[in-house]
Amino acid sequence: MPGLRHIRSLIVTMLLLLSALSIRLYAQEQFITPPARLLTNFSFKMLTGGIVIVSATLDNCKDSLNFIFDTGSGGISLDSATVDYLKLERTATSRTIKGIAGVRKVDFAFNHSLHLPGLTVDSLDFHINDYELLTSVYGVKIDGIMGYSFLKRYIVCLNYDKHEMGVYSQGSFTYPRNSQFLRPVFSSIPIQQVTVKDTRAILARYYLDTGAGLCMLFSQSFVDDSSLLLKKRKIFDTQAEGLGGKKSMRLTVIKEVKVGPYRLKKVPVYLFDDDYNVTAYPTLGGLLGNDIMRRFNVVFNYADQLICIKPNTHYREEFDYSYTGLGIYVVDRHIKVIDVIKGSPGEKAGFMTDDVILSIDNNFSNDIQAYKAMFQHPRTTLRIIVLRKGSPVTLKLRIKSILD
């Protein structure tokens, strides 16, 4: 009967509608991630190259310690001298760590608490390393490095305009307006795709390393195999410091570095022979350092595997194109010239190893950070007084630009 068929059709249609409605209602039933909570907000110091120094204490010790905030560290660590001073128990292990200048086996100090302003991070296992060289380089006692063991627990916001760090619990987070997301590959160290350009544009992956006080570092193998550099590029011998000691480097400049949508022009870069394969070539080309990252305010969210960046007031600051060829370090509270590269402006000015710098342009502060900042003005001439074999000597240093 036509009427019965019509009724059956209506019933089927109603059942289908109810079924579809139940599916939609079921899809709306889901767990909601609780919002991230601000746990603490505190100031940090920033050294040359964008190195971030965070003050903290350990366990029940009242002495303030200095930690480098370092996304390039796969854990968290303490300086061996600090461990001895605090009389912490060491446990020998078979684990090794690798840096630009060497590979070494490390001891551990297990199950300690780190007290940041307004926040305690407990159950931390610190590996132990010798940071005497970093202390000498920066003129600030380096007691340790905060890396993955800290970052994996929180959402961390770095405001380079205000020199402030905000630490949030994991959860749904409201990111700054008009910011951009990077989506690195996350292991213990984030790996970010970056496009670099000189002879041509080359897209490759790099460690994102806030503990590196430079723009970019390339393995020489990557540079050679990719034919990255223009043939006319001038390359200057220099050196850098890292895990294991000092390492000979080359310094030059490339046309462009593109991070996310942001293009940075005429960027100084370092090249080095990666004897210990720290940069994991050919998987990676090198690393992206904090002299680029400090030009953004940054949110690190390891749980959601993203990094959020927004240009800040430092974004358009000039890069450091200066070149002196001098390696200066704090030794026994004096700022001493330890290395003078052959053919460099420093050698031409008459500097010798073991010269003690007394003043630069009438600045007698004995502050290595201030002196390094004065070395960052290319095409200028500085009047420098050094103490050599007990007698003062006046030298004139003409700082070279690597763009010339």
Q: What is the pLDDT of residues 281-301, one digit of tens each?
A: 999 999 999 999 999 999 999
The 3 state secondary structure assigned to the chain is: CHHHHHHHHHHHHHHHHHHHHHHHHHHCCCCCCCECCEEEEEECEECHHHCEEEEEEECCCCCCEEEEECCCCCCEEEEHHHHHHHCCCCECCCCEEEECCEEEECCEEEEEEEEECCEEEEEEEEEEECCHHHHHHHCCCCCEEECHHHHCCCEEEEECCCCEEEEECCCECCCCCCCEEECCECCCCCEEEEEEECCCEEEEEEEECCCCCCCEEEEHHHHHHHCCCCCCCCCEEEEEEECCEEEEEEEEEEEEEEECCEEEEEEEEEEECCCCCCCCCCCCCEEECHHHHCCEEEEEECCCCEEEEEECCCCCCCCCCEECCEEEEEECCEEEEEEECCCCHHHHCCCCCCCEEEEECCECCCCHHHHHHHCCCCCCEEEEEEEECCEEEEEEEECEECCC
Q: pLDDT tens digit string along 250-272?
A: 999 999 999 999 999 999 999 99
Question: Does residue 83 sit in the same domain as residue 113?
Answer: yes
> Does the residue 20 lie in any domain?
no
Mean pLDDT lowest among 8-12, 97-101, 243-247, 389-393: 8-12
> Does the residue 9 lie in any domain?
no
d(CA 155, CA 167): 6
Domain boundary among 252, 279, 311: 311
> Domain range spanning residue 392?
322-401
**What is the number of alpha carbons within 13 Å of residue 83 lying toward its C-beta?**
23
CA of residue 207 relative to chain centroid, distance: 9
| Model pLDDT, residue 153 | 98
| Model pLDDT, residue 59 | 97
Question: Does residue 96 sit in the same domain as residue 132?
Answer: yes
> Does the residue 256 lie in any domain?
yes
Which tokens go with 358? 């007394």
Count of structural domains within the chain:
3
> Does the residue 196 lie in any domain?
yes
Average pLDDT over the chain reads 92
Q: What is the CATH number of the domain that holds 333?
A: 2.30.42.10
d(CA 168, CA 302): 12
Confidence of residue 275 (pLDDT cuts 50, 70, 90): confident
- Angle among Cα 286, 125, 98 to the nearest 5 degrees reads 25
d(CA 289, CA 50): 9
Question: Does residue 134 sit in the same domain as residue 203?
Answer: no
> Does the residue 86 lie in any domain?
yes
Which tokens go with 284? 């990676």
Q: What is the CATH number of the domain that holds 115?
A: 2.40.70.10
> Does the residue 26 lie in any domain?
no
Residues 6 or more apart from 30 whose CB is under 8 A from it?
none
Q: pLDDT tens digit string along 333-392?
A: 999 999 999 999 999 999 999 999 999 999 999 999 999 999 999 999 999 999 999 999
> Does the residue 173 lie in any domain?
no
Question: Does residue 327 sit in the same domain as residue 373?
Answer: yes
Q: How many other CB atoms sit within 10 Å of the CB of residue 181?
A: 13
Residues 6 or more apart from 221 whose CB is under 8 A from it?
274, 281, 282
User: Above 80 in pLDDT, residue 233?
Assistant: yes
Domain boundary among 140, 168, 196: 168
What pTM did the predictor assign?
Answer: 0.90
> Does the residue 17 lie in any domain?
no
Question: Does residue 363 sit in the same domain as residue 301?
Answer: no
